[in-house]
């Protein structure tokens, strides 16, 4: 019997369809269907100024908007030969890591809801709100930030931000233990999640599965270490790895990543306290985008003389390895923008880690994948 | 004092109304209205209406209690806006559901689709007719009240399965099958746990069981039976961690996926009615019903309707325990649930029966600091 789990289904956490073939309560085949949320972001980007594309990046992933902004910005700067000031780099890492914690807490909340734990869902949302408050205080928005810019970031931190951020970090550090108590401390949780949805490291590599799923299979791969971008080389942190390749291992990896993010953030906040400076590169071409659209001769002259280039970047996004490719053919818009979504690959391998388990196991397994449909369909 | 019962109150009410109505009519009708059969019939009707109103209001307050408790467990406040502290929120919700249009899928089997929720609701309500909430609360004394209550209680899987099957929806069908399997599996340990109580109390009559607990409540000596009974009741009520028939994450809403409006409200209300019945039974069988321990000074418990107040406080506390469980445990899987049911709960309940038999034969009940009652 084929069942459509989606496009509107509590399990999907977004707009996609998992077709499941069941025999009794056992899954014998699955067929993920994606594309319900396709908005043509890559195509729209070709008609936008470089800075206007950033708005679209927030819509790519609604829980990790800043990480996707960073991804695009790195690639665009590569293509446009722009170098941001050091303080901007640290501010971007600040965004990235706060966003990683926010995304993982959001994942935690949705995941525990999938296995029927009700209270931690609200604990997670409560704690994530603190991070959103911080975002609001320096980007002005809680969901669609549009904070990063080609050549830096939009604005510096407000006064007193680092102290507030440290308070939030202390609070979060204390909460992670509670999360663990509610999940790992529960026998029912262990019974449901141990040895569930196993995807071995070799299968991960074969299907392009990255991020916490790959690290939960015991493979120590993290782009922040393996191909350091921004200022990650200067920061001290460990890569979270777990053995087991099952749902519990993915849980452990994400929890450890949050702790490591807190560690990174403490270093970043210290650096930001001691090193004031500009946050946006000087002498940027005005035609880079809104709100300074080129009017008149000067802008076009600058644009025409601007060197062409090709930009590539890969970023350890909360869900996995995201990649961006930006081609600058000399126009005021990017000639082509292409993204690689980690979740797309992670979902595509669904047959590998779902077949053979029970129908009731689908929500925890898919929950442990951490699906974000916005970036799958773009 | 002790002669005032719920039934005598409704009989008096019926008599007064019959006199008033009869005074309007001339002789032959006047005499017929005042005849004992008619007055008795209306007395039974009033009795049923009072029971219905009491159980419905309590059910709705139970939902309020759960929402407020869950809110506190989850670091929020629960319903706050309609009425003081959200007391009227559930009435508002119920009224909203009442006004909604009931949609029936075209391919659904009409008869079963409507029969299922109605019968589920009706059987859940009937149980309140046999449960004594306090002295003089229930209509008459039956020797087998407990058995009757449990029999009516166990009708539910049939109606759930009928409504699930006739919904003609894959999720509903799976939920219905899970529900039937689960309820039947947990029916057995519940009955066995009850047998342990019956052995010690020596009666199937709930009133007698409560009176047997005047010296000591049964939860102490029969703690194994209590554990089995509470766990089984959680499964029977389909609450977390045993709510997999309506496991939201995979089955959308389980067997009531296709139901909306008033029919959904029937399911919802019946679920909480069963929750109320479950809490009632725990209080009656293990927590001394409407009595308090003998060391409580009787001056504290001599206010009017003391029995009902004590009973309801206990009931709400027991239900609070169920809510606490719901707030802190994840959901188990079907096979795990059934394995626990058949492989763990039944041996445990047999152990409880064995312990109860030992307690009764060895007469070691004074070990728990109490005097054996003359009935044992």
Query: Is omega for the bond preceding A176 within 30 degrees of 0, making it cis?
Result: no
Q: B241: distance to nearest CA of chain A, Å?
A: 8
Q: A189: distance to nearest CA of chain B, Å?
A: 6
Q: A191: distance to nearest CA of chain B, Å?
A: 8
Q: B127: distance to nearest CA of chain A, Å?
A: 30
B83 in any annotated domain: no
Q: What is the pLDDT of residues A70-84, one digit of tens each?
A: 999 999 888 888 888
Query: Is residue A6 over pLDDT 80?
Result: no
Q: A218: distance to nearest CA of chain B, Å?
A: 27
Asked if B334 lies within 8 A of A358 by C-beta distance, the reply is: yes
Distance CA B84, CA A25 (A): 46
* pLDDT confidence band for A12 (50 / 70 / 90): confident
Query: Does B296 or A180 have the greater pLDDT score?
Result: A180
DSSP 8-state class, residue A335: S
Would you say A95 and A65 are in contact if contact means Cβ atoms under 8 Å apart?
no
Predicted local confidence at residue B51, as pLDDT: 85
Predicted local confidence at residue A290, as pLDDT: 46
* pLDDT confidence band for A253 (50 / 70 / 90): very high
Question: Given CB atoms, is A378 within the 8 Å cutoff of chain B?
Answer: no
| Structural tokens at position B159 | 């109606």
Quick count: other Cβ atoms within 10 Å of Cβ A135? 21
Please give the model's pTM, rounded to 2 decimal places. Answer: 0.85
List, in sequence order, the alpha helices (H) in B202-260: 206-212, 223-236, 248-251
Q: A37: distance to nearest CA of chain B, Å?
A: 21
Q: What is the pLDDT of residues A109-136, one digit of tens each?
A: 989 888 888 888 889 999 999 999 999 9
Secondary-structure breakdown of chain B: helix, strand, coil percentages, each rounded to the nearest 5: 70, 0, 30
Which domain range does residue B255 map to? 100-368
Total count of domains within chain B: 1
Predicted local confidence at residue A287, as pLDDT: 64
Asked if A3 lies within 8 A of B171 by C-beta distance, the reply is: yes
Question: Chain A window 110-169: which residues touch B at a Cβ cutoff of 8 Å?
Answer: 112-119, 121-123, 126
- Judging contacts by C-beta atoms under 8 Å, the chain A residues touching residue B244 are 360
Predicted local confidence at residue B3, as pLDDT: 60
Average pLDDT value for chain A = 86
Distance CA B8, CA B3 (A): 8
Q: What is the pLDDT of residues A302-314, one digit of tens each?
A: 555 667 888 899 9
Distance CA B370, CA B294 (A): 11
Q: What is the pLDDT of residues A20-55, one digit of tens each?
A: 898 878 889 998 888 888 888 888 888 888 888 888
CA distances from B153 to B162, B191, B208 (A): 16, 11, 20
Predicted local confidence at residue A294, as pLDDT: 47
Q: Measured at the alpha carbon of residue B326, what is the angle toward residues B323 and B327, in degrees to the nearest 5?
A: 90
Strands, E assignment, chain B: none
Residues of B with CB under 8 A from a CB of A: 70, 73-76, 170-171, 174, 240-241, 243-244, 247-252, 326-336
Would you say B288 and B315 are in contact if contact means Cβ atoms under 8 Å apart?
no
Distance CA B285, CA B207 (A): 10
Q: Which residues pair with A23 in a beta bridge?
A: A26
Closest-CA residue of B relative to A114 is: B249
Closest-CA residue of A relative to B71 is: A119
Would you say A311 and A326 are in contact if contact means Cβ atoms under 8 Å apart?
yes
B41 in any annotated domain: no
B19 in any annotated domain: no
Q: What is the pLDDT of residues B76-117, one digit of tens each?
A: 888 888 888 888 888 898 889 888 888 888 888 888 888 988
Closest-CA residue of A relative to B333 is: A360
Which stretches of chain B drop beneath a pLDDT of 70?
A: 1-3, 138-141, 247-249, 363-376
Find the distance separating the first CA and the last CA of chain A, reported in whole Å: 31
Closest-CA residue of A relative to B324 is: A119
Q: What CATH number has the domain spanning A40-377? A: 1.10.645.10
In angstroms and rounded to an integer, the radius of gyration of the C-alpha atoms of chain A is 21
B13 in any annotated domain: no
Give the DSSP H/E element, type plus range, for residue A323.
strand A320-328
In chain A, where are the structural domains located? Answer: 40-377
Which of B248, B330, B336 lies closest to A186 in CB terms? Answer: B330
- Judging contacts by C-beta atoms under 8 Å, the chain B residues touching residue A115 are 249, 330-331
ipTM: 0.79
- Judging contacts by C-beta atoms under 8 Å, the chain B residues touching residue A126 are 75
B108 in any annotated domain: yes
Q: A3: distance to nearest CA of chain B, Å?
A: 7
Would you say B292 and B213 are in contact if contact means Cβ atoms under 8 Å apart?
no
Asked if A11 lies within 8 A of B249 by C-beta distance, the reply is: yes
Question: Given CB atoms, is A189 within the 8 Å cutoff of chain B?
Answer: yes
Distance CA B219, CA B231 (A): 14
Asked if A116 lies within 8 A of B240 by C-beta distance, the reply is: yes
HEC readout, B82-137: CCHHHCCHHHHHHHHHHHCCCCCCCCCCHHHHHHHHHHHHHHHHHHHHCCCCCCCC
Closest-CA residue of A relative to B72 is: A119
Which of B241, B252, B330 lies closest to A10 in CB terms? Answer: B252
Would you say A66 and A99 are in contact if contact means Cβ atoms under 8 Å apart?
yes
Query: Is residue A299 over pLDDT 70?
Result: no
Which of B248, B326, B328 lies closest to A10 in CB terms? Answer: B248
Which of A5, A192, A362 lies closest to B330 in CB terms? Answer: A192
Asked if A118 lies within 8 A of B70 by C-beta distance, the reply is: yes
Q: B375: distance to nearest CA of chain A, Å?
A: 42
Which of B75, B328, B334 lies closest to A122 in CB terms? Answer: B75
B334 in any annotated domain: yes
Asked if A11 lies within 8 A of B174 by C-beta distance, the reply is: no
B198 in any annotated domain: yes
Query: Does B143 or A268 have the greater pLDDT score?
Result: A268
Predicted local confidence at residue A167, as pLDDT: 92
Asked if A122 lies within 8 A of B76 by C-beta distance, the reply is: yes
A-to-B residue pairs, Cβ atoms closer than 8 angstroms: 81
Predicted local confidence at residue B376, as pLDDT: 42
Quick count: other Cβ atoms within 10 Å of Cβ B49? 11
Question: Could you tell me what percent of chain A has a pLDDT over 70?
Answer: 94
């Amino acid at each position: 019997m084929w069942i459509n789990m989606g496009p509107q289904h509590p399990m999907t956490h977004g707009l996609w369809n998992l077709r499941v073939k069941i025999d009794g309560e056992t899954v014998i085949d699955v067929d993920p269907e994606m594309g319900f949320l396709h908005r043509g972001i890559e195509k729209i980007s070709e008609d936008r100024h470089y800075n206007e594309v950033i708005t679209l990046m927030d819509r790519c992933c609604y829980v990790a908007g800043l990480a996707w902004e960073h991804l695009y910005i790195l690639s665009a700067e590569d293509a446009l030969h722009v170098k941001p000031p050091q303080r901007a780099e640290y501010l971007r890492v600040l965004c990235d890591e706060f966003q990683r914690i926010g995304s993982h807490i959001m994942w935690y909340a949705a995941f525990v809801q999938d296995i029927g734990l009700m209270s931690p869902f609200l604990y997670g949302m409560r704690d994530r709100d603190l991070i959103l408050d911080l975002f609001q205080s320096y980007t002005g928005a809680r969901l669609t930030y549009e904070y990063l810019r080609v050549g830096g970031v939009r604005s510096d931190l407000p006064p007193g931000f680092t102290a507030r951020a440290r308070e939030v970090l202390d609070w979060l550090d204390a909460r992670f233990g509670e999360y663990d108590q509610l999940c790992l401390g529960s026998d029912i949780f262990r019974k449901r999640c141990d040895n569930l949805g196993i995807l071995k490291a070799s299968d991960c590599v074969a299907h392009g599965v990255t991020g916490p799923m790959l690290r939960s299979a015991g493979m120590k791969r993290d782009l922040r270490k393996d191909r350091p971008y921004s200022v990650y080389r200067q920061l001290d942190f460990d890569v979270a790895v777990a053995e087991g390749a099952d749902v519990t291992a993915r849980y452990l990896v994400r929890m450890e990543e949050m702790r490591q993010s807190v560690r990174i953030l403490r270093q970043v906040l210290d650096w930001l306290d001691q090193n004031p400076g500009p946050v946006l590169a000087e002498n940027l071409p005005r035609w880079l985008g809104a709100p300074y659209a080129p009017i008149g001769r000067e802008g076009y002259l600058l644009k025409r003389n601007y060197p062409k280039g090709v930009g590539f970047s890969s970023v350890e996004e909360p869900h996995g390895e995201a990649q961006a490719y930006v081609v600058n053919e000399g126009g005021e818009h990017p000639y082509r923008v292409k993204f690689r979504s980690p979740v797309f690959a992670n979902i595509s391998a669904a047959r590998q880690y779902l077949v053979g388990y029970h129908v009731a196991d689908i929500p925890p397994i898919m929950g442990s994948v951490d699906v974000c449909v916005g970036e799958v369909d773009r | 004092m002790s002669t005032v019962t719920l039934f005598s109150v409704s009989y008096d009410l019926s008599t007064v109304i019959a006199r008033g109505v009869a005074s309007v009519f001339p002789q032959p009708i006047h005499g017929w209205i005042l005849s004992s059969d008619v007055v008795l019939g209306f007395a039974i009707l009033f009795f049923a209406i009072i029971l219905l109103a009491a159980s419905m209001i309590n059910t709705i307050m139970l939902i309020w209690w759960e929402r407020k408790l869950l809110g506190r467990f989850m670091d929020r406040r629960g319903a706050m806006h309609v009425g003081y502290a959200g007391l009227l929120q559930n009435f508002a919700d119920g009224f909203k559901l009442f006004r909604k249009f009931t949609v029936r899928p075209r391919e659904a089997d009409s008869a079963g689709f409507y029969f299922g929720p109605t019968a589920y609701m009706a059987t859940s309500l009937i149980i309140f007719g046999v449960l004594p909430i306090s002295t003089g609360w229930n209509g008459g004394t039956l020797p087998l009240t407990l058995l009757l209550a449990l029999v009516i209680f166990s009708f539910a899987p049939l109606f759930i399965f009928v409504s699930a099957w006739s919904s003609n929806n894959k999720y509903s069908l799976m939920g219905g099958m899970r529900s039937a399997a689960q309820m039947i599996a947990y029916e057995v340990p519940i009955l066995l746990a009850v047998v342990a109580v019956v052995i010690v109390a020596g009666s199937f009559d709930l009133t007698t069981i409560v009176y047997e607990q005047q010296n000591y409540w049964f939860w102490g000596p029969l703690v194994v039976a209590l554990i089995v009974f509470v766990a089984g009741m959680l499964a029977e009520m389909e609450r977390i961690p045993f709510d997999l028939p309506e496991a939201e994450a995979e089955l959308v809403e389980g067997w009531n996926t296709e139901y909306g409006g008033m029919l959904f409200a029937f399911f919802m209300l019946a679920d909480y009615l069963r929750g109320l019945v479950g809490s009632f039974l725990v209080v009656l069988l293990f927590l001394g019903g409407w009595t308090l321990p003998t060391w409580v000074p009787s001056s504290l418990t001599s206010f009017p309707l003391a029995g009902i107040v004590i009973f309801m406080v206990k009931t709400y506390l027991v239900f609070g325990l169920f809510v606490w469980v719901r707030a802190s445990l994840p959901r188990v899987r079907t096979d795990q649930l059934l394995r626990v049911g058949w492989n763990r709960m039944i041996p445990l309940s047999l152990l409880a029966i064995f312990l109860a038999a030992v307690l009764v034969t060895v007469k070691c009940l004074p070990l728990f600091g109490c005097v054996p009652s003359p009935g044992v």
